[in-house]
Chains A and B, each alone.
Chain A
Amino acid sequence: MTKRIRKQIAGGEEKGYLSIILHAHLPFVRHPEHEDFLEEYWFYEAITETYIPLLLQLEDLIEEGVHLRLTFSLTPTLVSMLLDRFLQSRYLRRLERLIGLAEKEIRRTKSQPEFQALAIMYHNHFLRVRDAFIKRYDRDLVQAFRRLQDLGYIEIIASAATHGYLPLLSINPSAVRTQIRVGVGHYRQIFGQNPKGFWLPECGYYPGLDEFLREQGVRYTILETHGITRAVPRPRYGVYSPIYCPSGLAVFGRDPESSKQVWSSSEGYPGDYDYREFYRDIAYDLDMEYIKPYIHRDGIQIDTGIKYYRITGKGNHKEVYVPEWAEKKAGIHAGNFLFNRERQIEYLSSVMDRKPIVVAPYDAELFGHWWFEGPIWLNFLIRKIAFNQKTIRLATPSEYLEEYPVNQVATPSMSSWGHKGFNEVWLNGSNDWIYRHLHRAADLMERLSAGRSRARGLTKRALNQAARELLLAQASDWAFIINSKTMVEYAVKRTKNHLLRFHELYRQIEERKIDGAWLSSLEYQDNIFPEISAKVFN
């Protein structure tokens, strides 16, 4: 943190703090063996619609000297994909196609000025994204985020290796420890420093988990509201101040008010009628022959990102999108959000003997992807906070801990930010079959790595690959997707393949008959964490 920023925080006039935390995650999806793989599109969309737009907005603010403090969680799987050259070139290929499509659209909508204006807008947007990706960021978005952290504007926190849902992996402490250890190790390698905070996948917490985080030197994490409110003993300040687990790990709780305003489909901003309608992409609206080359090769419709309609109302009737109106609304909503936070913090500071902190974590994807105007809203909000008031200041959780190193001790309760607040999303009739296999594989991995610490050559490579396969199988994304009934087949396949590969590697290692060629092909395909050592499971 630079001195310049530090001076502004301590002893300021503010009555309280707002900590916005953006959690950016994608499961590791990389399929060089397929020319055009459906699930890789999640990655391309996220870059075009969320990560680059966010970076551009933040850099705009920085250039103008606006005070800015945000927290980002960038998971290891996402970081690995962003740094992968193969995926980077695939992304560019996709972007080129979109630019071509936008050009076609400009021509097609010649006689419809409202639509053509939008087509031009998208064309410019794609061009700007391409320009930023190639020239400004040199294809390395991780470096872009790192730079913002090094300059003191954002704080990046670590997360679990493959986003494993830790409460359900807790049967094997080695599995939990490894998810955290590899995640923190990866962070150190990429960002060159120790992470102060850690994002628990899905905010999944169970009592005792804090010990593992402490072990790795993590100072704080964030839980869902009831993880704090139901802590034992009862927290004095609710979620407006962190608590310490007996182990010394600080835990911050999500503020329900600020979440509801943004996320709620009934009360929240993204549902406003002037905002862009997510579900009217031209991939679905236009003639198949015309659109086919721009969506998946087999004609499976995936979003292009070009959407011409606004939400308009609750029914199916949609009117054309008007960017000026949407931007105006974003400004109004930013003002409204700020107003609510000001009232909230004024009230809280009157009943607390310290400055309250309002913790507002969101999925990064919300901004730009689900809610097209999200990044603009964020920009307006940050500006208004900086210039229009003096009650609130943006801060990161670690800054709060520096100012308030004394906090109440309590043991948080088991919780998650998944639907209904516990483990149901990842453990129900659709996906419960996974866990016996994950637990069994973790047992076997412990067995494999014990007593083989001096392994060399092919055996060492096989052990390391077994570790990778296990970590990839543990990703909470698969259980989540199966539960959501969207790309179920893919998620089931991923789980099974990684586990089957793991078992095969186990067998080969135990029988000392390792198939080098097959191992090499696995190393190429499932190439996450190249530096991993199976010893980490001990």
Chain B
Amino acid sequence: MARSSVRTAASNGDQTSPGIEMEIRTIKGELQAKTRQDLIKRALELKIPGCHQKKKQELIEEIAITSIYQLLPRSPQIIRNLTRRDLLRLCEMGGIKVKRRSLKSDLVRAVKKTLVKKQAAKRPESPRPEAWLSAPELPTMPEHFPDSYDVTRVVLLPVDLYRIHVYWDIAKRDLERVRNQIGKEVERAQATLRFYDTTHIFFDGTNAHSSFDVDINLQAGNWYVHLWSPGRSYCMDLGFRTGDGRFFPIVRSNMAEMPPAHPSEKGKERYMLVSEDFKRLEIMPQLSAKECQKDLTCHPNPETISGVSESQNPEEILNQPVKQVQGKVRNDRYESFPMDMDKVLQEKLAELYRFRLVESPRPPSESGQVVHSASEEADLTEMNERGLTAGISSKVMILRKEKDLGLRAD
């Protein structure tokens, strides 16, 4: 990781000023948390002799002082936090002859004079020591990302209601292949994003509601596409379109579902009871919540619908074998327009249980109080929509700051 942290104009950009703080106490504290095995591994990496014979405390001392030794040239101020014993050890490591009874200040001077200078002199030739306490950059590590991973893909990412972001990457061989396919028209072929509206269908490549092309510059690598209706789902092919209208696809994207701009229509309401261990029991309107709570032996399959008519109780119903409702649309009737799951389920249930479905049910009420229907008097969803204030928190703070710093007008 590069040494320079964030700099502003206030900094004098001093390149040689050391930026590392290594308090030996902190280092030792960190090492305490490690096991002896870990410490031995590190000691081996630092080429400390005889580490297998050393006790844990000795290893800690050795590793700490070796790291300090290696970091000296860059941060000589570490010296001031060292004990006399540490300083003696440093001198020993650096081959400085000192009397064991020297004053601490003499030791400091000796270390500064010899070791710091010595290490500093060595710096141009040898690469920075691979002290495991700092994270040196490997000489071979690239500075930048590759522009391309040479893998062909195209990805759709929704941005907001009306915009979708596309990025792509094309492997050289795939580009070659397509260009060969196109033949002599290739120079006039236009790179394009062919969008398919796949809302509520299982897209098989041919059954989209509609499609449109967005011509692009292949070199750009990414594009923002503006849509004109929210709430739709899209799939997309990246390819070339020739002058005569033929389309040569290179790669297909993921499916992207765009968010809706408005609340949905008032529709059939479904209710569910979810227990603590996630067992789910769907409630049909006539059943009160209290009845369901009594016996939670519900079918684990989420598609299972259970309900009750006046004569039966929940337990009996649940123990009956239930036919699963398949979600796949194979029926002719649903091929070309969005399938209505609710309608499908209703019909299936009517067959299975033969009970009446009420059109606009009251939600199950525990207390049994008489309440005017919410949907007649107050539309809470509409009320919330009108008061919408998304993103108010992050926006407020940043805008205020920018305004105050004079970076933007109000």
Contacts and interface: CB of A to CB of B under 8 A. Distances in A.
Contact of B1 (A231, A413, A486, A497): A497
Nearest to A208: B257
A263 B262 contact: no
A33 B389 contact: no
B363 A353 contact: yes
Interface in B272-324: 272-276, 278, 280, 282-283, 289, 292-293, 302
A493 to B, nearest CB: 7
Contacts of B99: none
Interface in B258-275: 258-275
B271 A422 contact: no
Contacts of B280: 248
B16 to A, nearest CB: 14
Interface string B368-407: 0101101101101111110111111111111111001000
A280 to B, nearest CB: 10
B5 A38 contact: yes
B160 A420 contact: yes
Q: By CB atoms of chain A within 10 A, which of B12, B274, B374 has the most?
A: B274
A207 B231 CA distance: 12
B157 interface: yes
B268 A420 contact: no
Nearest to A264: B392
Contacts of A235: 380-381
Contacts of A226: 385, 388, 390
A184 B288 CA distance: 35
Given A214-B278, A265-B396, A300-B11, A422 B259 contact: yes
A222 to B, nearest CB: 13
A524 B132 contact: yes
Contact of B26 (A86, A206, A263): A86
Interface string A201-220: 00000110000001001010
Interface stretch (B100-108, B137-145, B173-181, B348-356): B137-145
Contacts of B400: 265
B94 interface: no
Contact of B393 (A34, A219, A263, A404): A263
Interface stretch (B51-59, B161-169, B190-198, B236-244): B161-169
Contacts, number: 310
Contact of B364 (A248, A406, A496): A406
B21 interface: yes
Interface string A406-420: 111100011111111
Q: By CB atoms of chain A within 10 A, which of B259, B261, B265 has the most?
A: B259
Interface in B166-217: 167, 169
Contact of B270 (A214, A219, A408, A417): A408
B1 A33 contact: yes
A422 B268 contact: no
Interface string B110-137: 0000000000000000000011111110
Nearest to B393: A263
A417 B5 CA distance: 31
Contacts of A168: 157
A366 B397 CA distance: 10
Nearest to B377: A351
B374 A229 contact: no
A134 interface: no
A80 B133 CA distance: 19
Contact of A414 (B19, B158, B262): B158
Nearest to B160: A422
Contacts of B152: none
B398 A521 contact: no
A470 to B, nearest CB: 15
B149 A440 contact: yes
B274 A440 contact: no
Contacts of B384: 225, 228-229, 238-239, 253, 255-256
A248 B302 contact: yes
Given A214-B278, A263-B396, A421-B390, A499 B1 contact: no
B83 interface: no
Contact of A225 (B364, B382, B388): B388
Interface in A177-221: 206-207, 214, 217, 219
Given A259-B392, A408-B269, A518 B10 contact: no
Contact of B169 (A236, A237, A436): A436
Interface string A297-332: 011110000000000000000000000000000000
Contact of B159 (A228, A234, A422, A436): A422
B344 interface: no
B19 A518 contact: no
Interface string B1-28: 1110111101110000011111000100
Chain A interface: which size bin?
A: 35 or more
Nearest to A494: B1
A335 to B, nearest CB: 22
Contact of A423 (B160, B270, B271, B282): B160
Contacts of B267: 232-234
Contact of A353 (B264, B265, B374): B374
A124 interface: no
A405 B293 contact: yes
B21 A35 contact: yes
Contact of A233 (B12, B18, B262, B268): B268
B257 A224 contact: no
B335 interface: no
Contact of A428 (B159, B258, B369): B159
A527 to B, nearest CB: 10
B157 A435 contact: yes
B42 interface: yes
Contacts of B265: 233-234
Contact of B11 (A259, A299, A486): A299
Interface of B: 1-3, 5-8, 10-12, 18-22, 26, 29-30, 41-42, 45, 75, 130-136, 138, 141-142, 145, 149, 151, 155, 157-161, 163, 165, 167, 169, 222, 254, 257-276, 278, 280, 282-283, 289, 292-293, 302, 363-367, 369, 371-372, 374-375, 377-378, 380-385, 387-401, 404
19 contacts: A214-B278, A228-B381, A228-B384, A229-B263, A229-B384, A229-B385, A238-B381, A244-B272, A256-B388, A298-B12, A353-B365, A406-B271, A413-B259, A414-B259, A420-B160, A425-B394, A427-B157, A436-B155, A439-B155
Q: Which 5 A-B pairs have the closest CB atoms?
A: A35-B21, A421-B390, A238-B380, A419-B391, A353-B371
Given A37-B5, A238-B382, A351-B377, 16 more contacts: A34-B5, A38-B5, A39-B6, A168-B157, A226-B385, A233-B264, A236-B380, A240-B380, A418-B390, A421-B390, A422-B161, A427-B159, A427-B165, A436-B169, A518-B138, A524-B132
